[in-house]
């Protein structure tokens, strides 16, 4: 019910601002009204619901355009089962930039992403800039997360973080940050993180990020990668990634033994001409002694004007089972107002040596109609056939209005 009230406040904000600051403010956004149907994965019953998704952006409120507001939320109502109206507010914040030409302030519900950690918060973030080679930010507030039907945040769920990063360097990005999360039992996360990105010789980009958990003295995530552009139409990518699952210190799962995951990836993307592009990739997955190999091959073709065909093939062998699968997806622009699309996914997999091969298939068809420049409608119908369902139908009809 609280989310429902907040969502109504999101809609009301646009009307209020339109009436109070109509002399200068610009209000833009999108209203998406949707009808969806699907199988409920918990009850395995057919379900259908209406939903309203609303995003808005308000700026030019003041003469210097320093103050702005952003918001996005949804409201849904099931119609086959007796369900309460379900609302979620994903973000709604005010942003004041260039205070004294050095400070940006953001207050409200917002997503904050540091190298050390990420969170959706009801709180604030302050950035200090234009003070030299470095800039700094600090954030904190109520840690927001959602349950099945409502906001599941409790009274003592909070997060705090600080970050310092390079500023004013065209070819270099770097950040070091600290992240702490609290719950009802105390400190749940205590982490530091770092990230960097460097462009070299106009043809090479190297990048990386890492996250270190202080209580367990463990690197929970590490990524090192490079992209090389020998010619304009060719991109070569190489990455090494490792992950060690870290649970909240206050969780019972923090005492469980887990395995470290490592992965090496190589990928090439080549644009042959304006009608054909291709990609190939290989990755080696390591589960602390148990390995798997994954090969991916794909291409995009434009056989005729206004038609695009995407073909992809995946093959996996090793720990966790084997898989052979492919996807074909076709998009065709009938007119400037009408676009149709469809796809077939087909996978053959074997979970282990004692199980037989199984297949999973997915088919979908969709279309989009542009009614006006700021108005469109779309439809998508999908069927999944797998070991669990002989047929699993779902779909969505949407009407979008941009303002």
Pairwise CA distance, residues 397 & 378, whole Å: 6
Determine the pLDDT at residue 8. Answer: 53
CA angle 373, 24, 126 (to 5 degrees): 95
Q: Give the DSSP letter of residue 15.
A: H
CB 273 within 8 A of CB 286: no
At residue 400 the predicted structure's pLDDT band, cuts being 50, 70 and 90, is very high
Percent pLDDT > 90 in the chain is 76
Determine the pLDDT at residue 256. Answer: 83
Give which of 111, 40, 30, 121 is closest to 80, Cα–Cα: 40
CB 205 within 8 A of CB 211: no
Q: Is the dihedral of CA 147, 149, 151, 155 positive or negative?
A: negative
Give which of 174, 179, 109 is closest to 144, Cα–Cα: 109
Q: With 60 as the cut, is the pLDDT of residue 60 above it?
A: yes
CB 337 within 8 A of CB 325: no
Q: Give the DSSP letter of residue 232.
A: T
At 180-217, the pLDDT tens digits run 999 999 999 999 999 999 999 989 999 999 999 999 99
What is the pTM (predicted TM-score) of this model? Answer: 0.85
At 306-334, the pLDDT tens digits run 999 999 999 999 998 899 999 999 999 99
At 138-185, the pLDDT tens digits run 999 999 998 877 788 888 999 999 999 999 898 999 999 999 999 999
CA angle 326, 331, 332 (to 5 degrees): 150
Determine the pLDDT at residue 20. Answer: 46
Pairwise CA distance, residues 227 & 238, whole Å: 7
For the beta carbon of residue 249, count every other beta carbon within 10 angstroms.
Answer: 18
Give which of 4, 17, 5, 111 is closest to 58, Cα–Cα: 17
Determine the pLDDT at residue 380. Answer: 98
CA angle 24, 25, 29 (to 5 degrees): 155
* Of the listed ranges 29-38, 233-242, 253-262, 309-318, the one predicted with least confidence: 253-262
Tokens of 334: 């009938």
For the beta carbon of residue 211, count every other beta carbon within 10 angstroms.
Answer: 24
Phi, psi for 159 (deg, rounded to 5): -135, 155
CA angle 15, 36, 89 (to 5 degrees): 40
* Of the listed ranges 18-22, 58-62, 280-284, 372-376, the one predicted with least confidence: 18-22
Q: With 90 as the cut, is the pLDDT of residue 19 above it?
A: no
H/E element holding 253? Answer: none
Q: Enumerate the domain spans of the chain.
A: 100-227
At residue 255 the predicted structure's pLDDT band, cuts being 50, 70 and 90, is confident
Q: With 70 as the cut, is the pLDDT of residue 285 above it?
A: yes
At 337-394, the pLDDT tens digits run 999 999 999 999 988 777 788 999 999 999 999 999 999 999 999 999 988 888 899 9
Displacement of CA 262 from its chain's centroid (Å): 22
For the beta carbon of residue 336, count every other beta carbon within 10 angstroms.
Answer: 8
CB 35 within 8 A of CB 396: yes
Residue 69 burial (10 A CB sphere; 0-12, 13-18, 19+)? buried
Displacement of CA 278 from its chain's centroid (Å): 25
Determine the pLDDT at residue 84. Answer: 77
What count of residues does the chain have? 403
Pairwise CA distance, residues 254 & 249, whole Å: 6
């Amino acid at each position: 019910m609280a989310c429902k009230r907040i969502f109504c406040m999101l809609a009301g904000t646009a009307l209020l601002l339109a009436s109070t600051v109509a002399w200068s403010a610009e209000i833009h956004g999108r209203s998406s009204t949707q009808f969806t149907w699907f199988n409920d994965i918990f009850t395995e019953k057919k379900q259908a619901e209406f939903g309203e998704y609303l995003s808005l952006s308000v700026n030019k409120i003041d003469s210097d355009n320093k103050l702005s507001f952003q918001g996005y939320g949804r409201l849904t109502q099931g119609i086959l089962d007796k369900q309460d109206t379900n609302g979620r507010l994903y973000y709604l914040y005010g942003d004041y930039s260039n205070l004294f030409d050095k400070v940006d302030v953001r207050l409200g519900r917002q997503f904050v992403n540091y190298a050390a950690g990420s969170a959706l918060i009801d709180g604030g973030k302050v950035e200090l800039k234009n003070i030299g080679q470095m800039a700094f930010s600090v954030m904190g507030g109520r840690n927001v997360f959602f349950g099945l039907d409502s906001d599941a945040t409790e009274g003592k769920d909070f997060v705090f973080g600080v970050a310092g990063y390079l500023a004013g360097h065209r070819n270099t990005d770097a950040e070091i940050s600290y992240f702490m999360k609290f719950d009802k039992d105390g400190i749940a996360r205590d982490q530091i993180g770092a990230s960097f990105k460097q462009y070299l010789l106009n043809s090479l980009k190297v990048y990386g990020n890492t996250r270190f958990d202080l209580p367990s003295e463990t690197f929970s995530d590490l990524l090192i990668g490079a992209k090389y552009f020998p010619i304009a139409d060719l991109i070569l990518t190489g990455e090494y990634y490792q992950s060690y699952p870290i649970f909240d210190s206050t969780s019972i799962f923090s005492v469980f033994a887990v395995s470290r995951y490592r992965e090496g990836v190589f990928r090439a993307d080549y644009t042959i001409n304006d009608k054909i592009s291709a990609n190939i990739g290989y990755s080696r997955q390591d589960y602390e002694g148990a390995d798997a190999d994954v090969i991916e091959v794909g291409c995009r073709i434009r056989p005729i004007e206004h038609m695009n065909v995407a073909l992809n093939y995946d093959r996996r062998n090793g720990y966790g089972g084997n898989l052979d699968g492919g996807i074909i997806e076709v998009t065709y622009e009938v007119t400037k107002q009408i676009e149709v699309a469809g796809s077939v996914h087909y996978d053959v997999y074997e979970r282990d040596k004692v199980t037989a091969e199984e297949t999973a298939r997915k088919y979908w068809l969709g279309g989009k109609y542009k009614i006006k420049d700021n108005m469109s409608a779309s439809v998508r119908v999908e069927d999944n056939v797998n070991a669990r369902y002989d047929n699993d139908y779902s779909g969505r009809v949407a009407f979008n209005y941009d303002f």
